[in-house]
């Protein structure tokens, strides 16, 4: 297979973890005989520094010419000042909008070898295997009007959704549930918000096309509680943009470290892959950040953009077995933690080992 991938390392620990993810991508491509070419672009704070804007036109052009986009992280505390007009995060939002990636998939899973680092009890962690489908290009993140009144003493944002925006992301959630445990949980605030009532109406109607799927609806405040009390009750969780943003950070606590969780953002053609951890500026340049979220994002890239399931499986298995051997970065291992690049190397060695046994090579 021949494909072009756009790599956007971004800010903070983005470049470090992306480097390891790329090594894994190249290794797996070589073993399985795929030819990938790579282009690199700027986004976020590094783009503001070099080009004055967080999503330069070159990056925009390149992402539309590529077959998939691999992103590290976006954000820098130097831009945290609320008075600033140009911020790194705007680049990420523009990227999502440009690619039209309306469905953000964020799987939440546990590794038994990491049960001890989660703040939750072991019996709660067993059998957790859920996936968030977060709407990513609508809602309050993008709604107009937004801004300040003339004198600046009031500010406003608009949460707006169309039936069409809800339907297309619902389809992704129900299709995923079909291949999984056949349950969709819609999270909303339908007791208060008009947009949530539209979500409920549209999704309940749409669910009739999937008689084998059980649909349940939960208010977001209850969900925040259920997610910690009994996360194994969930399979596919469908929700709007901002609820999804908040709940997926919460859900990352279940797995023990936000550093291990990947994401895939799906839309019409070019999909986007990024770890969910963000730029983690305190660790920038120290070679200590966990590369697993980025590496597992590569597994999702193989699976969702190129339908290469064996390649994805090899990466996931290599990560699991490396963790089972007790290797990890500082966020998951207290004694003798490995550096970002050392953990990357261990995972690559494991991939070689698995593939040498030939059980995963092409038939």
Neighbours of 106 (CB within 10 A): 23
Q: How far is the CB of 248 from Mn ion (least distance, A)?
A: 7
79 is a catalytic site residue: no
Instruction: Pick between residue 296 and residue 315 the one whose CB is nearest to Mn ion.
Output: 296
Q: With binding defined as CB under 6 A, does residue 169 bind ligand IPM?
A: no
219 is a catalytic site residue: no
Which residue blocks in the chain are alpha helix, DSSP H?
A: 14-32, 45-51, 57-65, 88-99, 122-125, 163-178, 194-206, 220-229, 241-255, 292-306, 309-324, 340-356
Q: With binding defined as CB under 6 A, does residue 75 bind ligand IPM?
A: yes
80 is a catalytic site residue: no
Instruction: Pick between residue 188 and residue 245 the one whose CB is nearest to ligand IPM.
Output: 245
Q: With binding defined as CB under 5 A, does residue 274 bind Mn ion?
A: no
Among the listed residues 45, 48, 70, 92, the single contact to ligand IPM using CB under 6 A? 92
Place of tokens 């795929």: 34
> 277 is written with which tokens?
């951890």
Which of Mn ion, ligand IPM, none does 75 bind, CB closer than 5 to 8 A by kind? ligand IPM
Which of Mn ion, ligand IPM, none does 261 bind, CB closer than 5 to 8 A by kind? none
The length of the chain in residues reads 363
Q: With binding defined as CB under 6 A, does residue 245 bind ligand IPM?
A: yes
> 62 is written with which tokens?
């390149």
Among the listed residues 76, 165, 240, 245, the single contact to Mn ion using CB under 5 A? 245
Q: Measured between alpha carbons, how far is 266 from 263 in angstroms, rounded to an integer?
A: 10
Annotated catalytic residue: which of 171, 189, 310, 316? 189
Annotated catalytic residue: which of 79, 249, 310, 316? 249
* In contact, 174 and 235? CB cutoff 8 Å: no
Burial 264-298 (b: 16+ CB within 10 A, else e): bbbbeebbbbbbbbbbbbebbeeebbbbbbbbbbb
Q: With binding defined as CB under 5 A, does residue 135 bind Mn ion?
A: no
Q: Are strands 155-156 and 147-148 parallel, antiparallel or unpaired?
A: antiparallel
249 is a catalytic site residue: yes
**Residues classed as catalytic:** 141, 189, 221, 245, 249
Contact footprint for Mn ion (CB under 5 A): 245
Contact footprint for ligand IPM (CB under 6 A): 74-75, 89, 92, 245
């Amino acid at each position: 297979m021949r494909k072009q991938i756009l790599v956007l390392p971004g800010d903070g620990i983005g470049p470090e973890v992306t480097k390891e993810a790329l090594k894994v991508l190249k290794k797996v491509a070589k073993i399985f005989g795929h030819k990938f070419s790579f282009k690199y672009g700027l986004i976020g704070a590094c783009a503001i520094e070099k080009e004055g804007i967080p999503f330069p036109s070159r990056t925009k052009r390149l992402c539309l010419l590529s077959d998939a986009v691999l992103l590290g992280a976006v954000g820098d505390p130097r831009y945290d000042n609320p008075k600033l007009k140009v911020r790194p995060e705007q680049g990420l939002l523009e990227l999502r909008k440009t690619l039209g990636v309306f469905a953000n998939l964020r799987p939440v899973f546990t590794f038994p070898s990491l049960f001890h680092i989660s703040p939750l009890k072991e019996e709660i962690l067993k059998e957790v295997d859920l996936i968030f489908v977060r709407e990513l290009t609508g809602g309050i993140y993008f709604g107009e009007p937004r801004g300040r009144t003339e004198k600046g003493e009031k500010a406003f944002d608009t949460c707006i959704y169309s039936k069409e925006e809800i339907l297309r992301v619902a389809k992704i959630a129900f299709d995923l549930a079909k291949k999984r445990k056949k349950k969709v949980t819609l999270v909303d605030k339908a007791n208060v918000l008009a947009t949530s009532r539209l979500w409920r109406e549209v999704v309940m109607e749409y669910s009739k096309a999937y008689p084998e799927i059980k649909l349940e609806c939960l208010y977001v405040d209850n969900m925040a509680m259920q997610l910690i009390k009994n996360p194994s009750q969930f399979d596919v969780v469908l929700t709007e943009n901002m609820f999804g943003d908040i709940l997926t950070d919460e859900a990352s606590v279940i797995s023990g470290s936000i550093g291990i969780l990947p994401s895939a953002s799906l839309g019409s053609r070019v999909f986007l892959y990024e770890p969910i951890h963000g730029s983690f500026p305190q660790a920038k340049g120290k070679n200590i950040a966990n590369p697993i979220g980025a590496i597992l994002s590569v597994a999702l890239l193989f699976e969702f953009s190129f339908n290469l399931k064996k390649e994805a499986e090899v990466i996931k298995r290599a990560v699991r077995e490396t963790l089972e051997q007790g290797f990890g970065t500082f966020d998951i291992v207290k004694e003798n933690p490995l550096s970002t690049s050392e953990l990357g190397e261990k995972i690559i060695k494991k991939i070689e080992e698995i593939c040498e046994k030939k059980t995963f090579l092409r038939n």
